[in-house]
Each structure stands twice: as C-alpha cells, then as structure tokens.
Amino acid sequence: MRLLMLDEVWRSLCAVAILTVSVVTHNYAVEFKDFRDGRVYRGIPSGSLNWFKQSLKYSKTSYFTDENGIPFYRSDSWKASCPEGTQLPDETDWDELIEDKFSGPDKMQNMSDFAGNSSRGFYKFEMDEVVNARKGFVYFAVRGPANHVIRLETKRGTTKYVDIEDADAVQIRCVFPRDQFAEKNISPKDMIFTDKRDNKKYKVGVRGGKIWMMKNLAFSVTSAKQCYVEDKSFCEKFGRYYTYEDALKACPPGWHLPDDGEWRDFQKDRATLDWDNLGQGGCQDWDNFCDGFNSGHYWSKSSIQENTARSWEFNRSDKDIDRTDVSVYKGLYVRCVAD
C-alpha cells in the first residue's frame, strides 16, 4: 500500500478541499464537499486513499442521468468530472482497493457495500439500452487509456477490466488522499497513539507502507494470566499475552491484527528492525514460558489449519525470524496495524 506518497500538488489541493473531519466515539469519518454543487461525499478509507462512498453526482459533465438520479459519464468527460482535490482512480488504485476490500472471505459483502445504491450496468447509447444491469454488474471509470473501465460483479465478488465504446457511459468514483495520522489522532511530531480504552500510549512508526504500533499491546481483554512468569511488572515491560481468539479482538477500533502479508512487509528491511524491542518477552505455552530474554512471539491473523494460527518469532541474539503454526491456545504478543 502507498502511504502518504502522493503528488505534492494534489496533496496541497486536498488540504483546502477536505472540509469535514469528524470523530464519533473512536470511529474516524471523513467527508469531502464538492464546492461546485455543494454535495458532500463520505469517504471509504483504503490504503493511502479515501474513496467516494457514493457515485459522483455532478451533472454538468455527465451525459445522462438515470431514473435513480445517478449521472453517467462518457470517457471524454472523465478527467474533468472529479472535483478539485480529488481525481479519477487508475488501475493501481483499483488494484489496491481490490486487494484490501474485495479479497478474502468478506469480499462479496464488502463489494456489495461499496456498490451500495449505484445503478447496475452501463449505458450504451448507440443501441439506446442498458447493458448487463440484471447480472449485477457495476461499471466505473478508470483513469488511463480512453474507455477503460472496471466491472464489479456483486453477485460473485469478482472484478474485471474491460473496454467500452466512445458512446458508452459509466459511473464515476473519485479518490482523495488519506491523512492516516490525523485519523488515529497521532501527531507526526511525537508519533504517539493513545488507546482511549485504557489511556495507554504506544509509539508508532511506518513499515511496509503502514502504520504499526512499535510496542506490544497491553490492553486487558480477559482476566486470564497474561504476563510473563505471571509477574505484572513484565506486562508493563513486554505487553500482554493473548490467545488467538483474544488477539483477534484486542486491537483498538481503527486497528487490526496483522496477517502474514503485513508481517512480511514489516520485516523486509531487517537491518532497520529494533531487535531488542521485538526479541524479548517470550511466549506462554500452557503453564510454561518461552525464553523471555532472547525471543518474542507474535500472532498473525493468518490461520491455515483448525486450532492453529501463524506465529512470528523474532530472536534478537541470532537476529533471526521464524514463522510457524502454533496452537491457538498459546499466549503470544500482539502488534496492531492501522486499518
């Protein structure tokens, strides 16, 4: 994922154009106001971008508005249609959204939520008909070659890039940059995140294009023993142990347990890893404890077999990393990643 690596001109425009940022409880919500007609669009965060939750409704550059009140646009107007401070997503943007939202077990629900009230099909005006509407296909414009669009099949959760004719018209979704530090109430100056559930503070950093907690999570999920050698002082030093089930729900809102792909990105540049920080605290194996002063064991969200899940072990003495499948009942540490 690309994190805050966008064109400086576009970034400066967005600083002016993003009007409404609201925090409701612990959930971050961003809205974008189109000054041309006053419409406000809710943002769907994904990677480095916010995506319009609704199809664009700017009528002056559209070719046709359907019975649902949704404008459709021909390719010669795509570039000029998104409001200042946003732009039409290209294939790379769509691919990142697909990886983030439209893959895995929740892909169909996520795609259905993304499509929302968008009209199905696209308009083919040379034949004066709507194409593929009944098949659950939704078509959106893609920045790049003329007439290049993406087709979402909401009934199956699949995507495909296709080309349409000059006279055809599709819907538009615009994108604008995320400020992920602002979303998490993190000052870029001190890089500290405060967990509002217990007011514990965590140093954060960027690895693999994502914001990671640089300290083990210490939030208490259960009343079970969660400290190394059952000494509470070690919970303060190393964080808490979690079973896999508890690890899945331990991170604060807006954060999540990393999967294997995110751990791979995290550890790619091993020379920059804080081995003394990562390679301590051991693990809890029933009534026994792993080496707490030379290794740290961390849960991955990834699970291949029943009753097991992935563990990432960092050994500071050897500067080595080992990935294994372990019992979901073991006690391992949690590092949270920003959504």
Rounded to an integer, the average pLDDT of 34-41 is 97
Give me the DSSP letters along 22-43: EEETTEEEEEEE-TTT--EEEE
Tell me what pLDDT residue 12 has. Answer: 40
Coil/strand/helix, residue 139: strand
Minimum mean pLDDT among 242-251, 283-292, 300-309: which range?
283-292
H-helix or E-strand containing 92? helix 91-101
Contacts of 304 (CB under 8 A, 6+ apart): 310, 325
pLDDT digits (tens, 9 = 90+) for 112-153: 999 998 999 999 877 667 777 777 899 999 999 889 999 999
What's the pLDDT at 169? 94
Among candidate residues 225, 221, 226, 228, the one with its CA nearest the CA of residue 282: 228
Neighbours of 332 (CB within 10 A): 28
Please enumerate in sequence order all residues whose Cβ is within 8 A of that of 261, keeping only pairs 6 or more positions apart, or say none: none
In terms of pTM, does the model score above 0.85?
no
- The distance in angstroms from the start CA to the end CA of the chain is 11
pLDDT at 214 over 70: yes
* Residue 100 near residue 107 (C-beta atoms within 8 A): no
Domains (range + CATH), the chain: 8-177 (3.10.100), 184-338 (no CATH)
Q: What is the mean predicted confidence (pLDDT) over 52-64?
A: 96
Q: How far apart are CA 25 and CA 12, in angstroms?
A: 29
- What letter represents residue 319's amino acid? K
Rounded to whole angstroms, how far apart are CA atoms 100 and 186? 23
Q: Hey, which residues does 71 pair with through a beta bridge?
A: 65
